[in-house]
Amino acid sequence: MTHNVLVVDDEPKLCDLLASALSQNGIVVFTAGNGLHALKVLECEDIDLVISDWRMPGMDGPQLLAEIKNRFPQLPVIVMTAYSTVKNAVQSMRNGAFDYIAKPFDIDELDITVSKALQFRDILKDNQRMRAELDEHRQIDSLIGDSPSFRRVLQAVDSVRESNATILLTGESGTGKEMVARAIHTHGNRADKPFVAVNCAAIPEGLLESEMFGHRKGAFTGAVADRVGRFQQADKGTLFLDEIGEMPLALQAKILRALQERVIEPVGDPRERKVDVRVIAATNKNLLDAVANKEFREDLYYRLNVFPIPLPALRERVEDIAPLARHFAHTLGAAAGKRFSGFSAQALQAMARYSWPGNIRELQNCVERATIVASGTVIEEEDLPAYLFAASADGGGTLIAEGSVPADLEAALAEVEKTYILAALAQSNGVQAAAAQLIGISERSFWYRLKKLGIHVDKIVR
């Protein structure tokens, strides 16, 4: 892992000496001539350690140390002083310095002190990251469901979680692909390393390469500093590439090389970087169709499809609706300061009859609304949104009428898709971003479907 160290001293020669010594250990060194300059660097760069002189004009070492501890409390500081008295050393440690070194210093002693400080920084960052992941994803330890189709998913997760194989999660939008990816990571052999998620459809095409591989300062307009890409951020951990089917063809070749050779090249930097990442990709598209249509590279498809895990739509696991709804009611209710004992039989029947085109994400949104409007401890049928009953009344809760089979499956599916998109646009008053959120897909996917289905928003919305 590359570390960034800031050296603060009003003697340029000493800054150069320290930069030369530290860079031999692969450390990126930033320098500042005084405390105020140092604070500006800290606001712009991701610094892992500060090495500061004790006596400087303007803001001196003790003042800078106090300011760093106030603004960046977990950032270690090593104090340098030519006035190496026990009093100064003890005072700096009391004020929060990690350690101190005396001028003139021994290079070996410097290396040892810096190494200890950076190890301390890594431990703090790992602990902070793990706490954040636990707080944000408390429910990932239990993927909920006992239907036969979902049990197959659980068996697949258990089979692959300890391996480093590349995984391809497929299924409709909202079926829980990121939840499954996080479960694989959390219960696998990289659980103590980063989990980095990238939505390939949400990042503008012109920025996607830089986002994935990073860039060097000055590589393009706006690249004001070096940036580490998602592959390096996920080093030794898991990289989750969501909506991989939306990735531009030009970038697919570079992703393929990264997967095959485990090396990347940041934009504007010809030097290769080795990376060790476990890749989990996800898509709601049929990638084989995309390959046939020259929209997706065949070699990348087979590189990703080492261990495929198809996720069933919620309408294919109706028996899981009740336990999922109870889980959401419990967690969402607790967050809002409410306690629910469950759902009435009528409410559960209404949810079972609905087809859930937005899958688990739509169910969660439905339950969240119900927890807001419910007045008692049991969520009743009238607490559920009206569209659940409208769909059942007009047959929208069932995709295929009993005894009928469409002669043209693609046309029938397109008609169903168009119906939901038109309904979402009507409900959102033509706001496309809001309509996309209503049916649980990205804005980019929504725009693609509008074009594919020939829907013109200005002709729909009144």
User: What's the CA dihedral at 283, 307, 257, 212 to 10 degrees?
Assistant: 40
Helix (H, G, I), strand (E, B) or coil at 421: helix
Q: What does 1-64 look like in DSSP terms, one character per residue?
A: ---EEEEE-S-HHHHHHHHHHHHTTT-EEEEESSHHHHHHHHHHS--SEEEEES--SSS-HHHH
Q: What is the pTM of this model?
A: 0.58
What's the Rg (C-alpha) of the chain? 27
The domain spans of the chain are: 4-133, 148-310, 316-393, 409-460
Which of these ranges, 148-152, 216-220, 283-287, 442-446, has the smallest mean pLDDT? 216-220
Helix (H, G, I), strand (E, B) or coil at 139: helix
Q: Which residue has the tokens 């397109």?
A: 414
* d(C-alpha 21, C-alpha 110), whole Å: 9
Residue 201: both structure tokens together: 């459809």
pLDDT band at 60 (very low <50, low <70, confident <90, very high): confident
Q: What does 179-219 look like in DSSP terms, one character per residue?
A: HHHHHHHHTSTTTTS-EEEEETTTS-HHHHHHHHHEE-TTS
In this predicted model, which residue has the larger pLDDT, 156 or 448? 156
Return the CATH class of domain 148-310.
Answer: alpha beta
The residue among 17, 77, 26, 13 whose CA lies nearest residue 48 is 77
Domains 4-133 and 316-393 share a fold: no
Fold category of 409-460 in CATH = Arc Repressor Mutant, subunit A (1.10.10)
CATH placement of domain 316-393: 1.10.8.60
Amino acid at 180: V
Q: Which residues contact 158 (CB under 8 A, 6 or more apart)?
A: none
List pLDDT tens digits, range 374-429. Answer: 988 999 999 998 888 875 555 444 444 444 455 566 666 677 777 778 777 777 77
List pLDDT tens digits, range 87-106. Answer: 676 777 778 888 888 877 78
Cβ neighbours of 111 (radius 10 Å): 14
Residue 130: both structure tokens together: 């793990």
* d(C-alpha 84, C-alpha 91), whole Å: 11
Task: Assess whether the previous peptide bond of 308 is cis (omega < 30° from 0).
Answer: no
Return the CATH class of domain 4-133.
Answer: alpha beta
